[in-house]
Copies of this chain bind each other. A is one copy, B any other.
Amino acid sequence: MPTPPRSGREQAIARLLSPRSIAIAGASADFSKINGRPLKHLLDKGFAGRLLPVNPKYRDIAGVACHASIDALPEAPDLAVVAVPAREVPACIEALGRRGARAAVVFSSGFGETGDAGRELEQRTLALARAAGLVLCGPNCLGFVNAFDKVWATFSQYADGPPAEGPVAFVTQSGAFGTAIAALARARGLGLGYFVNTGNEADLEFSEVMSAVVEDPRVRVAAGYLEGLRDGVALVRLARRCHALGKPLVLTKVGRRAAGARAAASHTGALAVEDAVFDAVIRQYGVLRARNEEQMIDMLEALSGERRARGNGLGIVTQSGGAGVMMADRAEEVGLAVPVLSAATQARIARVMPAFGAAGNPVDVTGQFLATPELLSESVVALLDDPAIDAGIVWLQLMAAHAQRLVRLFVEIRGRTSKPFVVCWVAAPSDAVSALRESGIPVFPAGERAVEAVAALADFERSTRLRFEPGDGERARIDGGSATESGASNGSGASNGSGASTAPGASAGRGHARAASLEGLVPTVDAVAMLAAAGVPMAPVVLARDEDAAVTAWRGFGGPVALKIESPDLTHKTDVGGVALGIDGESAVRGAYRALVRGVGQAAPAARIAGVIVQPMACGAVELVVGARRDPAFGVVVMVGLGGVLVEALRDVAFGHAPFSPDEAARMLGRLRAGALLDGVRGRPGTDRAVLARLLSRVSHWAAAMSPVLEELDLNPVLAGPDGVIGVDCVMILTKGT
């Protein structure tokens, strides 16, 4: 995986994180103060570069020469720590620019987080930094730690503890919560190679910082804590990069629900992102989501180990049948399998444990293993040797008197196996826990948490097999028509409607060109033509401008038709009585035409009427809605839901970031709670998920190509049945473009 070439900004960020020299503007000799602590930590932790405290009050601090002003610095610092009052920050940034600094981390608070005046000050500071070519971390942040290179440019309480360098890179928007998470990680024996607090993110945002640190070959796992998200596209780019590097990215984001959103709105200026969209998009790109800080640490403990699970088969060895049941339950809930062991494995376990039950996973070794230690070791090794097992959990409790023996036993087991296994030790002696962790064996204090951690291993393994569509940076290439749909091998000749044979890439390009002259609510015939050309099966439409034309269209379709009023002013035709269904026969068509025009004229007298859309009646076993819209954070997002009252009663919808493959579309369908309806229930026919997935993927490709001008697309209903899938009604709204 070659490292992409670095921009100047990227080089400045890399320098910020690994500086050879650090200026500290406003440095204090009182090491208990915010502006005193960074120098203390840098000295204590042995930073090997040059330290340049700046304060006219001192000639030196703790033996380090102190400079009277930034202008008086003997060299241009790679990094400047800014720890002066908020009102002095702009001048400080200007001075740093003059002196040739390229990066600053601003501790000072009193900016955007305090209201309008602070926001103005923050904008001014940012403008000065930009003008001076300075990259800014903060303001209102605790700074950062690069433990690998002993850069402790922070006043966080975390720095009070031992270095704890390790393969985890942790970037957090929150200082206080981030410090707590970092402390939890250290208490669990997890080393943080990087710990960065981005604070108000006036300039450097979470994704940009993480994108920089994840390139460090010493980093194996990336973890982030988010409170808001401005640039979803950058997050997607980061996720794709982590995927390419084969490094797991674990995110915790608060603000899932209304109460939290209210709290978030009052807490942070960051744009609220709809959590369902956020969740769908990050999972689409293989990000692992931790629901809270405890789960994050649990996942990190499993993921920072050297062993990876090759599948989702979980083997459980337990000393308590009930704990085994609880873990097996949780495993099923989080997507792990608890396979029945092979006959050979069962026989092997039965040799050491005559009372061993038949199914044998979980394996309950009871308390007997204390008398016969090989009961435990042989069972665990046999279990892990089983081809259906990809990872193991061993559950036990207390055993203070046997802690050392058990640790030796687990180390022996580890040596005899190559698959990952973790220990769940409830109410464990703390020295045993430390000893196991030092031997590279993850330890968890509760069974369900151990299962969730192993699920993270399996989820990560699954994510490495994801293949993404070309992303934002690569979109232009698609428009040239050279890309082919990754899912085209699913059999594109299946029972689609019109236009199914057109390559979506090429068609999207044409669609875009055509749309350039369109704005607002796109006429139905044009919208349908564009989608059909993009390979989206659509029910054919004719715009009849008079009764005769409607009759001709009805004759042409050769059966019952739907008539729908066409007006650039009406997006909800049913509400104004603008739809007539199942019309057959000349006089019926004429009557319906007149009734529609008359009725809509009365219900919406201001609406311009372009005519009536005539469309053959379509039918399907399942009604869906498919939509595309521009998400403020992520760009174009496609939504699919089960239509009718169901979607309203359940809000049963799934999201995907455009463009996506039919494989990803199939995963979206798999997330619908009432998705069983797609396969037919109660003797009703189902639909072909692959055909439906292809429609979704094509909509996503078209919508992504249209993103400069796409405001909204709604296909409602999309009818799906055993004979194929077809979009029936369509509302497409375009803007002038940007």
Contact = CB atoms under 8 A, between A and B. Distances in A.
Interface in A348-369: 355, 357-362, 364, 366-367
Nearest to A331: B259
A224 interface: no
Contacts of A361: 263
Interface string A605-621: 00000000000000000
Contacts of A344: none
A263 B427 contact: no
Interface string A551-571: 000000000000000000000
A676 interface: yes
A294 B681 contact: no
A22 interface: no
A398 B183 contact: yes
Contact of A157 (B321, B324, B398): B398
A53 to B, nearest CB: 23
Interface stretch (A210-218, A235-243, A250-258): A250-258
Interface residues of A, number: 84
Interface string A325-359: 11011011100001000000000000000010111
A355 B114 contact: yes
A227 B180 contact: no
A604 interface: no
A281 B126 CA distance: 60
Interface in A363-399: 364, 366-367, 397-399
Contacts of A332: 257-260
B681 A397 contact: no
Contact of A260 (B157, B329, B355): B329
Contacts of A328: 257, 259-260, 262-263
Contact of A227 (B292, B321, B355, B445): B321
Interface string A154-165: 000100100000
Interface in A483-500: none
B323 A177 contact: yes
Contacts of A366: 176
B648 A325 contact: no
A447 B296 CA distance: 13
B262 A359 contact: yes
Interface stretch (A2-10, A264-272, A629-637): A264-272
A645 interface: yes
Nearest to A397: B180
A515 B355 CA distance: 50
A387 to B, nearest CB: 19
A656 to B, nearest CB: 22
A707 interface: no
A594 interface: no
Interface string A506-539: 0000000000000000000000000000000000
Interface in A241-299: 254-264, 266-268, 291-294
Given A398-B157, A681-B648, A325 B183 contact: no
Contacts of A263: 321, 324-325, 328, 338, 359, 361-362
B645 A677 contact: yes
14 contacts: A114-B355, A157-B398, A173-B322, A176-B323, A184-B427, A257-B333, A260-B325, A263-B324, A263-B325, A263-B361, A266-B358, A267-B364, A292-B326, A645-B681
